[in-house]
Amino acid sequence: MRIMPLEETAQRLGLSPLSLADKRFRLRLGLPAVKLGRKLGFDEYDVEQLILRGRERMPLEGSAHDDLVHP
């Protein structure tokens, strides 16, 4: 398990460190924090899962929507 510092996590997610430091904001995101003394850190796995949850799902090949896509 790798713990990412607040600043690195914020940069990776495209958020401000102040937003990510807000507990209510983190709860809405579903991103738990790890307290390291007075500092916050984030499990890299949790950050990656958050990114994957936010990804758009693309239609599968052979689906009913293929006729809508023109090459």
pLDDT in tens, 41-70: 999 999 999 999 887 666 665 555 545 554
Contact 42, 34 (CB under 8 A): yes
By the 10 Å C-beta count (0-12 exposed, 13-18 middle, 19+ buried), 55 is classed as: exposed
pTM tops 0.85: no
Say what the pLDDT of residue 69 is.
52
Residue of 22, 11, 23 lying closest to 51 (CA atoms): 11
Return the pLDDT at 1.
Answer: 85
- pLDDT digits 0-9 by tens, 1-32: 899 999 999 999 999 999 999 999 999 999 99
